[in-house]
Structure 1
Amino acid sequence: MKKYENLAKQALTILSLLWASQLSAQSQQYSTTELTEAAHSWLTQQLPDETALDVAITPLDSRIGRKSCATPLAFSLSQPLTQRQNTIQIRCSDNNSWQLYVPVRIDEILTAVVLSQNIATGSRLTADMVQLAERQRRFVRGTPVTEPTQVIGAKAKKALAMGQLLTLQDLCLVCKGDVVTISVADKGLNVAATGTALSDGSLGDTISVQNQQSRRTIQVQVTGVDRVSVIF
C-alpha cells in the first residue's frame, strides 16, 4: 500500500513540475519600463479625442524587478478620468496574481488668448496686445477668452500682466457711458439703434441702456464689444 502511495506522490510531483514548466513557458515577462509604457498606452486610449490633455506618468521603481503573467494584463483607474491626480492599477489574474499602481497626473490644455504686453487699467485692447497660447486649465480662474476677435476694443478692468491668460472677467466689453449699437431682431425684422450704457457688462451680461433717440431705458444683453441686443 505504501508503495502505491509513494508512486502517487511521485506522479503528482511530476505533474506539478510539468504544469509549472508549461505555465512558465506561457507567461509573459515584463520589465518595469514595459509596464509603465503599457499603462501610459492604455490611458491614452481612454482619453477623449475632443479634449487636449497633458499626461505625466510616474515610472515604476526599477527595484520592483521583472514581473510575469500568464494572462492578459488588466488596467483600471482608481478615480474618475476627470480627476487630475490619479492612479493606474495594473493587475495580473493568473494563479500567481499581483497588482501594481502607477501614479499619473492628467491636465486639460486650453488654447486661449494671452497678453503679449502689460496692460494698464482702462486701456482698450488692440490686436498687437494679444496672442493665442496653450495653458493648463487648472490655472484658469474665470471664463477664458478663446478668440482674439471677441475682445479687440474691450477695456481692461484692472492692470494686466504680459503672459497672463485673459478672461471675460478681466474686461468690460461694454463700459458705463459707452455709446453702443442696439440690435433688435423680431420676426425676421432687424433694426439697429444707438444708446448709452448705464453700467459695465461682459459677454452675455444683462445691462441697462438708454436709447439716444427715445431716451427710454431698456434691458439688453451684451453680445460683443460695444454691441448689445434687446431682450424679449
Structure 2
Amino acid sequence: MKKYENLFKQTLTCTLLFFSHIVVADIDSNIYSPSELTRRAEIWINQQLAMPQQDDIQINVSQLDERIGDKECQQPLQFLLSQPITQRQNTIQIRCTAATSWQLYVPVRIDEVVQAVVLTQNLTTGSSITATMLNTESRERRFTRGSLVTNVDQVIGAKTRRSLSVGQILTLQDLCLVCKGDVVTISISNNGLNVAATGVAQSDGSLGDTISVLNRQSNRTISADVVAVNQVSIIF
C-alpha cells in the first residue's frame, strides 16, 4: 500500500510541476523584451503595407534600446502610426491599455524602391550612349530627380546634355534623344496614311518634347514630338 502511496505522491508532484510551468509560460507570454516589441512592430507595419501597389517598398524599423527593459501587458498590444502612412519618416506607437498602461515609440523609415538605370562610367557633355555604359539597379526613390529612364533600348544613341558621373541615376532630362542639328526621320500620320520625311532638328529634345524641325523636302519649319532617338512624329 505504501508503495502505491509513494507512486501517487510522485505522480501528483510531477503533475503540479507540469502545470506550474504552463502558468509561468502563460504569464511570460505577456512580458515583452525590447527586441520582441521591435519584431512585432515590424510585422505590424509590413501588414499595413502588404498591398499590390506597395510591392516596391523598403521598411527600416529602428531597434528599441535594450536598456528600457522588459514590458508587461495583460491586454493585446495596440499599434498605430503617428503620421499618415505616406510619410517617409514615421513613428510606430506601441500602446498597452491595461491598468498599468504604457506606450513606446519605434522610429521607422519607409522608402519606395525603383528600378533605375545608372551609369557605369563618367561621361562628358555630348557623349553618345551605348549599352555598355548602363546598368539597372534598385535605388530609393528619394535619390531620383526627373523622369527615370524605364527602357534602356530607348536611349541607346542619345547624347548627354551635361557631364555625368559613374553610379549616377540617368534621367530623360540628362539626354537629348534629338539634338540641335541632328538629321531626323519625320513620321507623318493623317487618317491612317503614314508618310516619312527627313528633317534637321532646330533644338534639343528628349522623349515627349515638342521641338522645331526643318523639313528638307518642303524647306518649312514644323513642330513635331520626339518619339525616339533621331525620330519625331506629327499627327494631323
Alignment-mate amino acid for residue 53 of structure 2: E
Question: Which among 113, 117, 120 is matched to residue 116 of structure 1?
Answer: 120
Alignment of 1:35 with 2:20, yes or no, is no
Number of residue pairs the alignment of both structures matches: 210
Aligned mates of 2:233, 2:47 — CA distance in 1: 44
Cα 1:127–1:26 shift into 2, 3 Å: closer
Aligned-residue offset at 1:164: 1.0
C-alpha RMSD of the superposition = 1.9
Deviation string 1:132-176 (CA, Å, 9 cap, x unpaired) is 112121111211212211210000111111111111111101101
Q: In 1, Cα distance between the equivalents of 2:116 and 2:71?
A: 44
1:50 equivalent in alignment to 2:53: yes
SS across alignment from 1:150: helix
Partners in 1 of 2:28 and 2:128 — Cα distance? 70
1:5 is aligned to none
Aligned to 1:227: 231
Q: For residues 185 and 89 of structure 1, what CA distance do their matches in structure 2 show?
A: 59
Contact conserved, 1:180 with 1:197, CA < 8 A, in 2? Answer: yes
Distance 1:118 1:25 in 2: 62
**2:132 & 2:190 partners in 1: Cα distance?**
37
**Could you tell me which amino acid in structure 2 is paired with residue 174 of structure 1?**
V
State the 1:26 CA deviation: 9.8
Contact 1:27 1:71 in 2 (8 A): no
* Cα distance in 2 between the residues matched to 1:223 and 1:72: 58
Asked if residue 193 in structure 1 is aligned to residue 234 in structure 2, the reply is: no
Match of 2:217 among 210, 213, 216: 213
**Matches of 1:130 and 1:26, distance apart in 2:** 55
- Larger deviation, residues 59-68 vs 37-46: 59-68
Counterparts of 1:71 and 1:186 in 2: how far apart (Å)? 71
Cα distance in 1 for partners of 2:143, 2:194 equals: 41
Q: CA deviation at 1:231?
A: 4.7
Deviation for aligned residue 1:190? 2.3
The correspondence of residues 126-205 of structure 1 with structure 2, limited to 5 A, is 126-205=130-209
Q: Aligned equivalents of 1:200 and 1:69: distance in 2?
A: 65
Distance in 1 between residues matched to 2:233 and 2:98, nearest whole Å: 66
Identity of aligned residues (%): 60
The TM-score, its normalising length taken from structure 1, stands at: 0.84
TM-score, length-scaled by structure 2:
0.83
The CA distance in 2 between the partners of 1:75 and 1:189, in whole Å, is 62
User: 1:76, CA displacement in angstroms?
Assistant: 1.2
What are the Cα deviations for residues 211-231 of structure 1, in whole angstroms up to 9, with x where unaligned? Answer: 111112111111111111115
